[in-house]
């Protein structure tokens, strides 16, 4: 538990000092003991999401950074993207199988920005309605299969 908070404290300082472009963290949106964060994100200019504002929820278990954080889009604007379900769940391998403790909140934000930026057509995943109806509230409880790393 202690190592998790020490690590998150460092991460919070780092993201406030040098946030990735379009990313910001309002200190008022950091939950008790640093276990929940809300990160604000702007769609990058020159992409399909330019001018849009998104919010990401990060939840950290006591086993962080060995366990991946639970990351979902929340709020009124969930990006329309082939890897983002309408309930905010994101199909991104570093959020489950390929998570490494060397990654961080910043690297997750960068991956999500890059995932959004490389999108060529705004659409929901093909299995969206079935998934949203049947999935767990926690996306980490989904056994994802990653069919396409290029989007």
Q: Does 102 bind other proteins (CB under 8 A)?
A: yes
Decide if 109 is catalytic: no
Q: Does 44 bind other proteins (CB under 8 A)?
A: no
Q: Does 88 bind other proteins (CB under 8 A)?
A: no
Stretch binding other proteins (CB under 8 A), from 21-29, 34-42, 74-82, 136-144: 136-144
Between the alpha carbon of residue 28 and those of residues 117, 130, 135, the distances in Å are 28, 35, 30
Q: What are phi and psi of 133, to 5 degrees?
A: -75, -35
Q: What is the footprint of other proteins within residues 14-33 (CB under 8 A)?
A: 14
Between the alpha carbon of residue 99 and those of residues 17, 56, 108, the distances in Å are 24, 17, 10
Of the candidates 16, 45, 107, 114, which one interacts with other proteins according to CB under 8 A?
107
Question: Residue with structure tokens 């509230």?
Answer: 137
Pick the closer one to other proteins by CB: 18 or 121: 18
**CA 93, 95, 101 angle in degrees (round to 5)?**
110
CB 38 within 8 A of CB 55: yes
Q: Does 104 bind other proteins (CB under 8 A)?
A: yes
**Crossing angle (nearest 10°) for helices 105-117 and 2-17:** 50
Of the candidates 2, 27, 121, 150, which one interacts with other proteins according to CB under 8 A?
2
Tell me, residue by residue from 54 to 73, as one string, x for binding to other proteins by CB under 8 A and - for no binding: -----------xx-------
CA distance 41 to 56: 7
Binding site for other proteins (CB under 8 A): 2-3, 7, 10-11, 14, 65-66, 94, 97-104, 106-107, 134-136, 141-143
């Amino acid at each position: 538990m202690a190592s998790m908070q020490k690590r998150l404290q460092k991460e919070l300082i780092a993201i406030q000092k040098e946030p990735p472009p379009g990313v910001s963290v309002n200190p008022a949106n950091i939950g008790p003991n640093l276990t929940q964060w809300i990160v604000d994100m702007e769609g990058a200019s020159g992409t399909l999401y330019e001018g849009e504002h998104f919010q990401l929820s990060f939840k950290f278990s006591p086993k962080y950074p060995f366990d991946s954080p639970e990351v979902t889009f929340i709020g009124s604007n969930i990006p329309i993207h082939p890897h983002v379900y309408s309930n905010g769940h994101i199909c991104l391998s570093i959020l489950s199988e390929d998570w490494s403790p060397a990654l961080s909140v910043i690297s997750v934000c960068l991956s999500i920005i890059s995932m959004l930026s490389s999108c060529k057509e705004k659409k929901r995943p093909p299995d969206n309605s079935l998934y949203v109806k049947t999935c767990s509230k926690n996306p980490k409880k989904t056994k994802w299969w990653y069919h396409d790393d290029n989007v």
